[in-house]
């Protein structure tokens, strides 16, 4: 295993196939159903996870955001279907720079699993090593994992409004969405007043792997993070923000996630929206 408790390399994963649980979390905003790609080729033994239906609760009102967190019992039922066990390492991956895999990483960590790894570089790193893929559906033996909620720090909409006065609130979306120049999904454009633009894509190198911890730390310190003050992050709907949580964790911070993110904030007309490159 790699030195970090949060990442694993393709080389190391290949060496422990069969001894870890692997989850394929392929998803993207313009193609939310990753199952066809999964069936066409996935890492041997990987079980497909549907982010939209298994890592979100769409029975909740729109005022809670586009990807509200599901109750612990719902996640536990899904995780047992994936074959997860409390005493077994879980590896998650995608083909989107770990943007969707990080959602599974965060939720399983929040549920109490200690050893959850993101495949650094995702499926691209696996392919680059020349390792094989398998096709079709993997149906594992049901697991016995026990999950809860509340291990990872979170903030709500009122906390997000106050947070810039207490610490640093990072906006993980693309810079043009932060500035309010475009908004392809949510009701209003702009950002939470006081939030700092920190696009999650800049956490990765050209190969889609996370930057070294010292570079990530320098990045966030340069954007205004204070090691002695709290740090939190949000995105469009709480998916990519989990990637930012992972990057901040690798950098030595203890970040909180705003799960509702801009998709919740923008649904409330009484919440102000800032535009332009400045936090306020």
Q: What residues are annotated to the active site?
A: 235
Comparing CA positions, the residue from 58, 242, 272, 64 lying closest to residue 156 is 64
Give CA–CA dist 69/202, Å, rounded: 26
Would you list the DSSP string of 115-166? -EEEETTHHHHHHHTT---B-S---PPP------S-SS-B--HHHHHHGGGT
* Contact assessment for residue 117 and residue 15, using Cβ atoms and an 8 Å cutoff: no
Give CA–CA dist 117/119, Å, rounded: 6
Determine phi and psi for 68, rounding to 5 degrees.
-60, 150
* Contact assessment for residue 100 and residue 171, using Cβ atoms and an 8 Å cutoff: no
| Cα distances (Å, whole numbers) of residue 115 to 19, 86, 123 | 13, 9, 20
């Amino acid at each position: 295993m790699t030195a970090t408790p949060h990442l694993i390399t393709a080389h190391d994963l290949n060496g422990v196939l069969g001894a870890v649980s692997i989850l394929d979390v392929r998803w993207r905003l313009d193609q939310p159903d990753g199952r066809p790609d999964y069936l066409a080729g996935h890492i041997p033994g990987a079980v497909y996870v549907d982010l939209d239906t298994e890592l979100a609760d769409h029975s909740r009102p729109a005022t809670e955001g586009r990807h509200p967190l599901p109750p612990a019992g719902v996640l536990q039922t899904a995780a047992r279907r994936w074959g997860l066990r409390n005493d077994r390492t879980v590896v998650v991956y995608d083909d989107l720079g770990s943007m969707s895999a990080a959602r599974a990483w965060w939720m399983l960590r929040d549920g109490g699993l200690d050893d959850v790894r993101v495949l650094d570089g995702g499926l691209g790193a696996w392919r680059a090593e020349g390792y094989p893929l398998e096709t079709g559906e993997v149906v594992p033996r049901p697991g016995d994992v026990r999950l809860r909620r509340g291990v990872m720090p979170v903030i709500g909409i009122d906390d997000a409004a106050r947070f810039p006065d207490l610490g640093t609130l990072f906006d993980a979306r693309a810079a043009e969405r932060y500035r309010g120049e475009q908004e392809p999904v949510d009701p209003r454009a702009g950002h939470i007043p006081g939030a700092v633009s920190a696009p999650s894509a800049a956490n990765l190198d050209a190969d889609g792997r996370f930057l070294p911890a010292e570079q990530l730390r320098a990045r966030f310190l340069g954007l205004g993070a204070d090691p002695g003050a709290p740090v939190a992050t949000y995105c469009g709907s709480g998916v990519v923000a989990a990637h930012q949580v992972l990057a901040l964790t690798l950098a030595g911070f203890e970040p909180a996630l705003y799960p509702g993110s801009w998709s919740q904030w923008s649904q409330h007309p009484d919440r102000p929206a800032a535009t332009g490159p400045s936090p306020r």
